[in-house]
Amino acid sequence: MERYQGHVSRLLWRFTRDKNSHEELVQESFVQVYLSLHTYKARAPFEHWLSRIVTRAGYRFWKQSKRHMHVSLHDQDWKQLSQDQADPTNPQQAAELVHHLLSKLPPRDRLVLTLRYLDQCSVAETAQRTGWTPSLVKVQTYRAKQKLRKLLKNTDIEFEV
Q: What is the pLDDT of residues 141-153, one digit of tens each?
A: 999 999 988 887 7
| Kind plus residue range of the DSSP H or E element containing 57 | helix 46-68
Domains of the chain: 1-70 (1.10.1740.10), 73-161 (1.10.10.10)
Q: What is the pLDDT of residues 36-90, one digit of tens each?
A: 999 898 888 899 999 999 999 999 998 888 765 544 444 445 455 555 544 556 7
> With b meaning 16 or more CB within 10 Å and e meaning fewer, what string describes 46-65?
eeebbbbbbbbbbbbbbeee
Q: What is the pTM of this model?
A: 0.67
Q: Determine the angle formed by the axes of helices 123-130 and 134-153, rounding to 10 degrees.
A: 100
Above 90 in pLDDT, residue 133?
Answer: yes
Q: What is the pLDDT of residues 26-36, one digit of tens each?
A: 999 999 999 99
CA angle, 147 as apex, 74 and 103 as ends, to 5°?
55
* Mean of pLDDT over the chain: 82
Q: Is 26 exposed, middle or buried (0-12, 13-18, 19+ CB in 10 A)?
A: buried
pLDDT for residue 89: 67
